[in-house]
Chain A
Amino acid sequence: GAGVSQSPSNKVTEKGKDVELRCDPISGHTALYWYRQSLGQGLEFLIYFQGNSAPDKSGLPSDRFSAERTGGSVSTLTIQRTQQEDSAVYLCASSLIVRAGNEQYFGPGTRLTVT
Chain B
Amino acid sequence: DAKTTQPTSMDCAEGRAANLPCNHSTISGNEYVYWYRQIHSQGPQYIIHGLKNNETNEMAYLIFTEDRKSSTLILPHATLRDTAVYYCIVIGTSYGKLTFGQGTILTVHP
Residue of A whose beta carbon sits closest to that of B31: A100
Q: Is the CB of B42 within 8 A of A101?
A: no
Given A35-B98, A42-B101, also A100-B93 (CB < 8 A): yes
Given A42-B100, A42-B102, also A99-B95 (CB < 8 A): yes
Closest beta carbon of chain B to A1's beta carbon, Å: 15
Cβ contacts A72-115/B at 8 Å (1 or 0 each)? 00000000000000000001010100111111111111000000
Q: How far is the CA of A35 from the CA of B36 in the complex (A)?
A: 14
- On chain A, the number of residues with a Cβ less than 8 Å from chain B's Cβ atoms is 28
Q: Is the CB of A48 within 8 A of B101?
A: no
* Interface hit among B7-15, B19-27, B44-52: B44-52
Interface of B is mostly: loop
Closest beta carbon of chain B to A60's beta carbon, Å: 13
Q: Contact size class for B? A: 20 to 34
* Count: A-B pairs, CB below 8 Å: 68
A7 within 8 A of B: no
Q: How far is the CA of A101 from the CA of B99 in the complex (A)?
A: 14
Q: Is the CB of A104 within 8 A of B95?
A: no
Q: Is the CB of B42 within 8 A of A108?
A: yes
Cβ contacts A41-71/B at 8 Å (1 or 0 each)? 0111100101000011001000000000000
Given A91-B44, A109-B43, also A104-B96 (CB < 8 A): yes
B residues within 8 Å of A by Cβ? 31-32, 34, 38, 42-46, 49, 51, 91-103
